Structure 1
Amino acid sequence: MAKITYIEFTGEEHVLDLEIGTSIMQGAVDNSVQGITADCGGACSCATCHVYVEPEWLNKLGDKSEMEEILLEEVCQPQANSRLSCQLKVSADLDGMIVRLPESQF
């Protein structure tokens, strides 16, 4: 298990213990975190699971795939720390990670 903190745009926090190997997106969906709609169910084809990863965690994540890069070009208010949470798998190295949700996924 790894503890992941989701911070909604409103500031509401959700601290969740997630199984290793699940996606950050699935953890949000399974626990009714508002702000991640995950329209494609994790197929990396919609970008409705966009999150901002706190900068100190970026080096613990794998590189973005070409498809993730393309989709991130279409999100509202992209930032250097933007990622698609469907592409982020929970690992022991991510225990304590914080992700922030954008104001809108559209």
Structure 2
Amino acid sequence: MAKITYVEHDGTEHVVDVPNGLTVMEGARDNGIPGIEADCGGACACSTCHVYVAEDWVEKLPAKEAMEEDMLDFAYEPDPARSRLTCQLKVSDELDGLRVQMPEKQI
């Protein structure tokens, strides 16, 4: 299980325990975290679960696969270094302490 901090655009923080095996997106959905819409349900077919990963976590996460890179082109104000789709981040003990911030809106 990993403790993940989800930060809304206005700075409101939600710290939740997310079970291993789920995705960061599923952790947000299951805990009612606003700002992650996940319209496609986690199929990497939209960009509505886009977040900005805390800078100190960028290098700790697995590299983006081509499909995620392509979908980030449709995200609201993507950051080449920090933007990730939460449906592509599988939770494990190694993600304990992860901080993600939602963009102003999802498109």
In the superposition, the TM-score normalised over structure 2's length comes to 0.96
- 1:67 corresponding residue in structure 2: 67
1:3-82 aligned at under 5 Å gives the runs 3-79=3-79, 80-82=81-83
Give the drift of 1:70: 0.6
After TM superposition, where is structure 1 displaced by more than 4 Å over at least 4 residues in a row?
Answer: none
**RMSD of aligned alpha carbons:** 0.7
1:67 deviates by 0.8
Aligned position for 2:87: 86
Give unpaired runs (5+ residues) of structure 2: none
For 1:100, give the aligned amino acid. Answer: Q
Alignment partner of 1:3: what SS?
Answer: strand
Deviation at 1:10, TM superposition (A): 1.1
Rounded Cα–Cα distance in structure 2 between residues aligned with 1:75 and 1:42: 15
Query: What residue identity is the alignment partner of 2:99?
Result: I
Deviations 1:2-31 (A, max 9, x none): 100000001111000010111000000011
Shift of 1:59: 1.6
Identical-pair percentage: 57
